Chains A and B, each alone.
Chain A
Amino acid sequence: MKVHVNMDICLLHGQCVIAAPEIFSFDDSGDLHWVEVIDDSQVADAEAASDACPEQAIILG
């Protein structure tokens, strides 16, 4: 599964980092990073992160 974050609408709430820390992370300067291709074992975490995003900025596909 592919993971994408629409940075035009992301407001850096950080809920994805909490829900799926193995996929999403902040670097020291506060920028969001994510794993762009995940395996099946991580899909549930990615979906939880997507649901937890108040801006619906996470696109899974």
Chain B
Amino acid sequence: MAGPRITVVGASLAGLRTAEALKAALPQAQLTLIGDEPHAPYNRPPLSKDVMESFAGGDADETEAFGKLLLRSKLTPEDVSIRLGVAATGFENAGVRLADGSLVRSDWVIAATGIRPRRLPLPGNEDIRHVLRRFDDARALAPMLQPGKRLAVIGAGFIGCEIAATARKLGLHVTIVEPGPQPMMRALGPRVAAAMAALHRRHGVTLLTGRMVEAFQPGRVILDNGKEIEADVIVEALGSLPNTEWLAGSGADLSDGVLVDDTMRAIGAPNLLAVGDIARFANPLFDDVPRRVEHWCIPGFTAKRAAQTIAALEAGDTPEPGFSPLPSFWSDQYGMRVQAFGAPALAETQTVVEGDLSQIGEAPVIVEYARDGALTGVIGLGAPPALIAKHRARLMAALTPKETA
């Protein structure tokens, strides 16, 4: 008997890992993987760092550079039908409608369409304004990063800060404009964010916080205090928007990504699941508030969970309850690794337990994050792996899944 028709929309890390997990859990499934990019699934984190650097230097062969990013997979063409370069435009009872008008008939649909960069709704300087999310974005931006050029980065999140660090290494003059009081403040909290601001300034970045962009004029960024920044290249790094428009009318809650239960099934759309950056789920390690989590580790966790769910339902079983993955993320800036475990963003207090934040980038620092007196996360700054592992183990012991209401 033929297995269920399962369509995974989004051919990146989350989509690929989901297809692999489905193949392992349901060998008879008829799998289709759809991606709007022309590229086979690839790894994005190096785009703002190594890839950018090697492209900018002009010493990278594009095919070879992409080859390093390409995600290795055991899936064969017999295992999964892969359709690249075509976007999904609609979710219908019968399946997924594609931009070329065709319908991929599906018993199950898994949304893995990820996010796209938010853009400033201001006209001007279109020829020098860039974003960074995809390989093609990196390919377009990198040749602009030449020594001596002036780069304006709008937004001091991780992507903006990593690009700034890479550009400083490449010899550009870099200005960051950030509306908030510190860079990466939401993810790192005020104390560590302030230390990161100092690190960027020490490396020669002009960091303007508490400032918004009011307008663009040719070769200039105009701020809300009237200050003008001259720029040869501009990067908009203002966070992301979930790619869920194609799911309009599906019945799912699309208010921020796709609201899913602890089995990755969309609330309100029984045959739809969501994984990766767009899945909004509660993590009982912390509380019962559903959140999207844009970390590299989440695709792997949610992919396996979604595959288990479909396999259980196809077998007539109920998926096992409970889904509480430990989030982790990292960022590399100026040769220093920021490595986080847990959910530092949920904390109210930060405590330095090893090192000294004034020594950031020079000596290891470990910071604990807590809410209501309970640990929610730990971050290592330039800390050796064995030291971080010790604190991660302590965090794991402190975090126990909480009963949801």
Contacts and interface: CB of A to CB of B under 8 A. Distances in A.
A52 B296 CA distance: 9
Interface in A14-55: 14-15, 17-18, 26-30, 32, 51-52, 54
Contact of B72 (A15, A17, A27, A56): A56
B270 interface: no
Sorting the interface of chain B by its residue count into under 10, 10 to 19, 20 to 34 or 35 or more gives 20 to 34
B128 interface: no
A32 B386 CA distance: 9
Given A18-B392, A52-B297, A52-B300, A30 B43 contact: no
A17 B45 contact: no
Top 6 nearest A-B pairs (CB, nearest first) are A30-B384, A26-B386, A14-B385, A12-B385, A26-B385, A30-B386
A27 to B, nearest CB: 7
A13 interface: yes
A54 B43 contact: yes
Nearest to A17: B389
Interface string B320-355: 000000001010100001010000000000000000
Contacts, number: 38
B17 interface: yes
Given A54-B43, A54-B296, A28 B386 contact: yes
A14 B17 contact: no
Contact of B43 (A15, A18, A56): A56
Interface in B126-176: none
B198 interface: no
B296 A26 contact: no
Interface string B368-399: 00000000000000001111110010000000
Contacts of A14: 339, 385, 388-389
B71 interface: yes
Interface in B294-315: 296-297, 300
Given A52-B297, A54-B296, A56-B71, A13 B339 contact: yes
B203 to A, nearest CB: 20
Most buried by A among B71, B300, B386, B387: B386
B29 to A, nearest CB: 19
A15 B138 CA distance: 26
Interface string B215-242: 0000000000000000000000000000
B21 to A, nearest CB: 10
A11 B17 CA distance: 22
B330 A13 contact: yes
Given A13-B330, A13-B339, A56-B43, A51 B386 contact: no
Contacts of B297: 15, 52
Contacts of B384: 30
Given A56-B43, A56-B72, A27 B330 contact: no
